[in-house]
Chains A and B, each alone.
Chain A
């Protein structure tokens, strides 16, 4: 059995509109006391929806204006900056929009092992007097210090040691220059000028005669094919519907235009005229006819070279699926791989969805990891930690819970606030689910002291330790062997309180037939009530409803608004938690 660490998850109240609720009495087959009406609204940590609302306390934020817990689902993210994780340069969002979400400087990852690549010269470093000041000459390569891959292996070398991204975008694997989209456009314009503005459908013969620098049968790579096709169809659309009154460029292709949107809206509202129009347009379109227009003819023997390469070089020459995932095009062989430009990262600020106040705002400077604003729930609501009451030996630490044997756990509530808080906790009598363990909280109501000054704590630390020791010995002496008393706090410190929870773990064996209720028996007969323990059903998860009450200053926090009602205000916060205490063995 795998190890188990006790955990506490908090439910964010943002899901309260439709809380995952199960009526324990009627739904759980092992429950015998079906009339426990006070449990009917208990939170069910096993409900499929519960997964989306439970978070560890560290993941939660707290809105000071709504006085509510905020989870990642009820905050709005705003991007503060984009930056490259390798060179830590900020990338303006306009550049991100135009150039994409990759670093456009010289930051690359190895296509083989994703280690950061470094630029190095192929020349021997200069030696002799003043060697430190002499600059190294080219050519340069990208070089992986981890797996010693180098861009020389895919036939790529650079003239300059900086601006690798732009240099790389102009070179194909093997060293041939890439014909950029702009060059293609220029070429296209030249051709269309030469071939005269005749009707589009009969340019077959004309084009071959014009002076072109591009081969019409050239084998295009995916990117240039796309740009050619796009240009071709755009030209077609422009010719087919010159400046339509409605603004859409005709056919089915003007997806981005506002006209297209209104046409789609027209479809929904029942207008039929748009349909007719698009049908009428269809006749005027033609397909791409050569490589300039993005036509790629798949020859029957086009894959022979690939197969031959596979036969010659074998498995080792092929790229792994992980390596292919990082590439933008299909790269069956290692020799097709290209250096991966670093993906940019973001710093985000978070706002409350209801009141739009900022909950978390990182410093805009990339080199600093500090936050300007960070309202984490950890500073506002008491944390809960779980510990078995019986001191266990280190070997026993992972010991599973014994079915039907009462086990006691210590819940420690630690108060982060500067005011003392009143805590009420409540649980259903049994855990929800098929295997209902019985739960008893021995002390459901208590007060946790204020989180006073840290200095004060430090100064009192010596005496406090003694005090706590005393309390424990007293408890032990009066109660005998570690016996918890109902209605009393187990242990208390400056800003923390421990209370005892008793759990009687359920037996994982199915209940005998005669104990089952009529409904359960029926359910079992009807179809496949599986008696086996499903995944993680042996974990005892206790839903706990926590209500925290405290008095807070109103004046200071609200600033100008709350000036006149200076004084103390009663605050209340209530939420569900789930305590995972252990596995039933």
Chain B
């Protein structure tokens, strides 16, 4: 399969990367662009996840899950030095688009959600399925976006538990997804 793809289109130039040795990255993940892509320890990148550093650097912390068909990185030209930073323990679900400046620790970006350019998400935020965060929006810690643009502050105080669950999920994924670190180094 991969050889076929390679034959039809010339391979995109590899972006400079700084990958943690404990990273799990599937062979079919796509890392393109010219800026630096940093992926932290224990992070899992699913096949067909797209990390695009053409318009700015991408930094992903440790214990993150980047799901398939999600798009990380600026999708168009921005201000100089602008990039995408994803902190520790973040889950980016299937088909989500992340262009935000900073995504705080323990956030969850649900299926097909969009996080607009320049936005700042506090820690432990949750962006519900198909919800959108506008450009340059600042969300305080523990914000939950759900349904039709409704939002609330989550006071349940189970963040530690959630981070633990993310760690367990990563443990399982590591066994399921064959990693091919060398392809991207």
Give A316 to B150 CA distance when docked, in angstroms: 11
CB distance from B99 to the nearest CB of A (A): 23
Check B7 for interface membership: any CB of A closer than 8 A: no
Contact B156 A113 (CB under 8 A): no
Q: Which residues on the A side are within 8 Å of B146 (C-beta)?
A: 113, 146-147
Contact B128 A152 (CB under 8 A): no
Contact A124 B164 (CB under 8 A): yes
CB distance from A139 to the nearest CB of B (A): 12
Q: Interface size for chain A: under 10, 10 to 19, 20 to 34, or 35 or more residues?
A: 10 to 19
Q: Which residues on the A side are within 8 Å of B158 (C-beta)?
A: 122, 143, 150, 152
Check B168 for interface membership: any CB of A closer than 8 A: yes
Give A444 to B81 CA distance when docked, in angstroms: 78
Contact A113 B153 (CB under 8 A): no
Pick from A124, A146, A316: contact of B128, CB under 8 Å: A146
Check A112 for interface membership: any CB of B closer than 8 A: yes
Contact B147 A147 (CB under 8 A): yes
Check A153 for interface membership: any CB of B closer than 8 A: yes
Check B10 for interface membership: any CB of A closer than 8 A: no
| CB under 8 Å from chain A, chain B span 126-165 | 126, 128, 144, 146-147, 150, 152-158, 160-161, 164-165
Pick from A112, A113, A124, A334: contact of B161, CB under 8 Å: A124
Check A149 for interface membership: any CB of B closer than 8 A: yes
Pick from B147, B157, B168: contact of A152, CB under 8 Å: B157
Q: Which residue from chain A places its CB closest to the CB of B153 in the assembled complex?
A: A316
| CB under 8 Å from chain B, chain A span 124-151 | 124-125, 141, 143, 146-150
Contact B157 A148 (CB under 8 A): no
Contact A148 B164 (CB under 8 A): no
Contact B144 A148 (CB under 8 A): yes
Give A146 to B126 CA distance when docked, in angstroms: 9
CB distance from A322 to the nearest CB of B (A): 10
Give A146 to B127 CA distance when docked, in angstroms: 10
Q: Which residue from chain A places its CB closest to the CB of B128 in the assembled complex?
A: A146
Render B9-43 as a binary contact track against A, CB cut-off 8 A, 1 for contact.
00000000000000000000000000000000000
CB distance from B77 to the nearest CB of A (A): 35
Give A112 to B126 CA distance when docked, in angstroms: 15
Contact B144 A153 (CB under 8 A): no
Chain B residues bordering chain A, tally (CB within 8 A): 18
Give A152 to B128 CA distance when docked, in angstroms: 21
Give A144 to B159 CA distance when docked, in angstroms: 14
Q: Which residues on the B side are within 8 Å of A112 (C-beta)?
A: 152
CB distance from B168 to the nearest CB of A (A): 7
Q: Which residue from chain A places its CB closest to the CB of B164 in the assembled complex?
A: A124
Residue in A124, A148, A334 with the greatest tally of chain B CB atoms within 10 Å: A148
> Contacts A113-B147, A124-B164 given: A148-B156 contact, CB under 8 Å?
yes
Describe B's contact surface by its main secondary structure.
mixed
Give A146 to B152 CA distance when docked, in angstroms: 12
CB distance from B170 to the nearest CB of A (A): 14
Contact A316 B164 (CB under 8 A): no
Contact B153 A148 (CB under 8 A): no
Q: Which residues on the A side are within 8 Å of B154 (C-beta)?
A: 148-149
Give A141 to B162 CA distance when docked, in angstroms: 14
CB distance from A566 to the nearest CB of B (A): 63
Give A112 to B128 CA distance when docked, in angstroms: 14
Render A390-421 as a binary contact track against B, CB cut-off 8 A, 1 for contact.
00000000000000000000000000000000
| CB under 8 Å from chain B, chain A span 147-168 | 147-150, 152-153
Give A258 to B135 CA distance when docked, in angstroms: 69
Pick from B144, B155, B164, B168: contact of A147, CB under 8 Å: B144
Q: Which residue from chain A places its CB closest to the CB of B145 in the assembled complex?
A: A147
Give A277 to B153 CA distance when docked, in angstroms: 61
Q: Which residues on the B side are within 8 Å of A141 (C-beta)?
A: 156
Contact A113 B164 (CB under 8 A): no
CB distance from A113 to the nearest CB of B (A): 6
CB distance from B127 to the nearest CB of A (A): 11
Pick from A143, A147, A152: contact of B152, CB under 8 Å: A147
CB distance from A386 to the nearest CB of B (A): 36
Give A316 to B143 CA distance when docked, in angstroms: 12
Give A331 to B133 CA distance when docked, in angstroms: 30
Give A463 to B54 CA distance when docked, in angstroms: 60
Render A69-112 as a binary contact track against B, CB cut-off 8 A, 1 for contact.
00000000000000000000000000000000000000000001
Contact A149 B156 (CB under 8 A): yes
Q: Which residues on the B side are within 8 Å of A147 (C-beta)?
A: 128, 144, 146-147, 150, 152
Q: Which residues on the A side are within 8 Å of B155 (C-beta)?
A: 152-153
Give A153 to B155 CA distance when docked, in angstroms: 6
Give A147 to B127 CA distance when docked, in angstroms: 9
Q: Which residues on the A side are within 8 Å of B157 (C-beta)?
A: 152
Contact A316 B156 (CB under 8 A): no
Q: Which residue from chain B places its CB closest to the CB of A123 in the assembled complex?
A: B161
Not counting A112-B152, A125-B165, a sample of 6 additional A-B residue pairs whose C-beta atoms are within 8 angstroms of each other reads A141-B156, A146-B128, A149-B152, A149-B154, A152-B158, A316-B152
Q: List 10 A-B contacts (CB under 8 A).
A: A113-B146, A146-B146, A147-B150, A148-B126, A148-B154, A150-B158, A152-B157, A153-B156, A316-B152, A316-B153
State the 7 A-B residue pairs at the shortest beta-carbon distance, nearest first. Answer: A150-B156, A147-B146, A148-B154, A152-B156, A153-B155, A148-B144, A147-B144
